[in-house]
Amino acid sequence: MNKPFSYESLYALAEEWAQLCEPPSALQLALGLDSGLYSLKFYSPKWQERWLHIDLSAARPWMVSTISPLPIKKAGPTPVQNFLRAHFVGRRLVQIEVAQKPNRQFRFSFETQVDEAPVYFEWHGFPHGQKLVLFAEK
């Protein structure tokens, strides 16, 4: 299937992934695999381990949630992986949102302290416009 995500698919995925927020799951591990492929390991007492895999390939970006890691060799550290480890690992995921048309993007928001700036990442899944935007201030 080489078609980009439809909005129906995006909303269905957001509904499925909302289980990571109820109760909030903590991000335990951020791995960089192949070029543009990342795996994030979440944990909650209710769901145990859950993996979110993000692929930023130009022709067909995708995201999927599984109960196990991908059987792909881990790559060396990347700036994205280092940023995720520094600002996101240890935080709990509290909300997942789908942007309105035409963006084809998800926003994953993490818990913050009362006087702390928002911490979130966005996945933009439009073919040839794919990207992962990370936001955290210290």
Question: Is-contact 94 44, C-beta < 8 A?
Answer: no
| Residue 3: predicted pLDDT | 64
| Residue 127: predicted pLDDT | 67
Residue 132, token pair as written in the block = 């992962």
Question: Is-contact 89 42, C-beta < 8 A?
Answer: no
Residue 67's identity, in one-letter code, is I
- For each of the chain's 138 residues, which pLDDT tens digit applies? 456 677 787 888 888 888 788 888 999 999 888 778 889 999 988 878 889 988 888 777 888 888 888 877 777 788 888 999 999 999 999 999 887 766 778 899 999 888 888 999 988 877 677 888 899 976
Class of domain 7-135: mainly beta
The structural domains of the chain, with segments of one domain joined by +, span: 7-135
Supply the pTM of this predicted model: 0.85
Give the SS3 label for residue 42.
strand
